[in-house]
Amino acid sequence: MQPFTQNVIQIIKRIPEGRVMTYGQIAKLAGSPRGARQVVRILHSMSKKHKLPWHRVINSKGEIGLKEDEYYSIQRLSLESEGVEFLIDGKIELQTYLYHPDI
């Protein structure tokens, strides 16, 4: 496994309940500031295997990146069950819920 991939997995595992991180934020912390799409790929292919809290990763606009109704609903319900509130436009207020790890 590549170091970037290992870093991404470890960062995502540490996102606490009720908080979120963005794809780009994770990529930057993992060592590749322009690697947001790689984070998406890692989440897609490794979430189940590594038991990642994939639902805590959103885009930089504060939106759920998944557009498929089923997965969008699962992610939104998972976040809401952890206390994350959505604004009327469906976004998450990043000032309130964005996690900044001490890495």
Q: For 60-101, how does the pLDDT look when each residue is reduced to its tens digit (9 = 90+)?
A: 999 998 887 888 999 999 999 999 999 999 999 999 999 999
For 19, the 3-state DSSP assignment is coil
Q: What is the pLDDT of residue 103?
A: 61
Q: What six digits make up the tokens of 45?
A: 């292919």
CA dist., res. 75 & res. 71, Å (int): 6
Residue 99 corresponds to which amino acid? Y
Q: What is the pLDDT of residue 88?
A: 94
Sorted by where each begins, the domain ranges of the chain are 3-97
Q: For 8-26, how does the pLDDT look when each residue is reduced to its tens digit (9 = 90+)?
A: 999 999 999 999 999 999 9
What sections of the chain are H helices per DSSP? 3-13, 23-30, 36-50, 69-81, 94-97
Query: What would be the CATH architecture of the domain defined by 3-97?
Result: Orthogonal Bundle (1.10)
